[in-house]
Structure 1
Amino acid sequence: MVDQPLAPHRRPWTRRALLAAGAGAATAFAGVPRARASTAATTRVGDAEVTVLTDGHLIQPMAFILPDRPEAEIAALLTPHGLPIDAVQPDCNLTLLRIDGRVVLFDAGSGPLFQNTVGKLPASLAAIGVDPAEVTDICFTHAHPDHLWGVLDDFDEPVFPHARCWMNRTEWDFWRAPGTLDATPEARKTFVVGAQNRLERIEDKIALFDAGNEPLPGIEAVASTGHTPGHTSFLIHRGGEGLLVVGDAITNAVISFERPDWHTGSDQDPSKGADTRRRLLDRLAAERTRIVGFHLPYPGIGTVERVGGHYRFAPTV
Structure 2
Amino acid sequence: MTLSRRSLLKQAGLGAASLALPSFATGVQAAPAGPAPVLHQFKLGDVTITALLDGHLPIPASVFSGYDAARAEETLAGSFYQANAQGLEIPVNGYLVERAGAYTLIDTGTAQLMGPDLGGLHAALAAAGVDTADITTVLLTHIHPDHAGGLVSPDGTAAFANAELVVDETEWGFWHDDAVLASVPEDSRGFFQMARNSVAPYADRLKPFSSEAQVAPGLTALPLPGHTPGHSGFMLDTGAAPLLFWGDVVHSTALQFANPEWTIPFDVDQPLAAETRKAMFDRAAADDLLVTGMHLDFPGLGRVRRAGAGFAFDQAPWQFGL
**Range class of TM-score, shorter chain:** 0.7 to 0.9
* Counterpart secondary structure, 1:59: strand
Q: Does the C-alpha gap of structure 1 residues 34 and 147 become closer, same or farther in structure 2, counting only changes over 3 Å?
A: closer
Correspondence 1:195 to 2:195: yes
Q: Deviations over 1:2-56 (max 9, x none)?
A: xxxxxxxxxxxxxxxx6xx24777896239x9977x7111122211111101111
Distance, in Å, in 2 between the alignment partners of 1:132 and 1:173 is 27
Equivalent residue, structure 1, for 2:179: 179
Distance, in Å, in 1 between the alignment partners of 2:96 and 2:242 is 15
Q: Does the C-alpha gap of structure 1 residues 188 and 305 become closer, same or farther in structure 2, counting only changes over 3 Å?
A: farther
Instruction: Identify the match of residue 67 of structure 2 among 65, 69, 75.
Output: 69
Equivalent residue, structure 2, for 1:30: 22
Q: Deviations over 1:202-241 (max 9, x none)?
A: 2112100112110112101011110000000000012142
* Counterpart secondary structure, 2:257: helix
Tell me which amino acid in the other structure corresponds to 2:267: D
Deviation at 1:184, TM superposition (A): 2.9
Q: Does the C-alpha gap of structure 1 residues 308 and 63 become closer, same or farther in structure 2, counting only changes over 3 Å?
A: closer
* Counterpart secondary structure, 2:42: strand
Tell me which amino acid in the other structure corresponds to 2:241: E
Deviation at 1:104, TM superposition (A): 0.3
Tell me which amino acid in the other structure corresponds to 1:157: T
Matched-pair contact (CA < 8 Å) for 1:45–1:237: no
Equivalent residue, structure 1, for 2:13: none
Matched-pair contact (CA < 8 Å) for 2:3–2:187: no
Equivalent residue, structure 1, for 2:49: 50
Equivalent residue, structure 1, for 2:59: 60
Distance, in Å, in 2 between the alignment partners of 1:314 and 1:276 is 20
Q: Does the C-alpha gap of structure 1 residues 63 and 167 become closer, same or farther in structure 2, counting only changes over 3 Å?
A: same
Q: How many residues align?
A: 296
Distance, in Å, in 2 between the alignment partners of 1:34 and 1:179 is 36
RMSD: 2.5
Matched-pair contact (CA < 8 Å) for 1:254–1:312: no
Matched-pair contact (CA < 8 Å) for 2:142–2:230: yes
* Counterpart secondary structure, 1:241: coil
Matched-pair contact (CA < 8 Å) for 2:20–2:58: no
Equivalent residue, structure 1, for 2:38: 39
Matched-pair contact (CA < 8 Å) for 2:35–2:118: no
* Counterpart secondary structure, 1:166: strand
Deviation at 1:70, TM superposition (A): 3.9
Matched-pair contact (CA < 8 Å) for 1:29–1:115: no
Q: Does the C-alpha gap of structure 1 residues 199 and 34 become closer, same or farther in structure 2, counting only changes over 3 Å?
A: closer
Q: Does the C-alpha gap of structure 1 residues 186 and 89 become closer, same or farther in structure 2, counting only changes over 3 Å?
A: farther
Matched-pair contact (CA < 8 Å) for 1:107–1:141: yes
Q: Deviations over 1:180-216 (max 9, x none)?
A: 2222356753321100122223211210011211011
Matched-pair contact (CA < 8 Å) for 2:164–2:202: no
Aligned ranges 1:163-242 → 2 under 5 Å? 163-185=163-185, 188-242=188-242
Deviation at 1:69, TM superposition (A): 2.3
Matched-pair contact (CA < 8 Å) for 1:260–1:278: yes
Matched-pair contact (CA < 8 Å) for 1:140–1:147: yes
* Counterpart secondary structure, 1:222: strand
* Counterpart secondary structure, 2:198: helix
Segments of structure 2 that go 5 or more residues without pairing to the other structure are: 9-18, 24-32
Q: Does the C-alpha gap of structure 1 residues 34 and 100 become closer, same or farther in structure 2, counting only changes over 3 Å?
A: closer
* Counterpart secondary structure, 1:254: helix
Equivalent residue, structure 2, for 1:297: 297
Matched-pair contact (CA < 8 Å) for 1:57–1:89: yes
Distance, in Å, in 1 between the alignment partners of 2:62 and 2:312 is 24
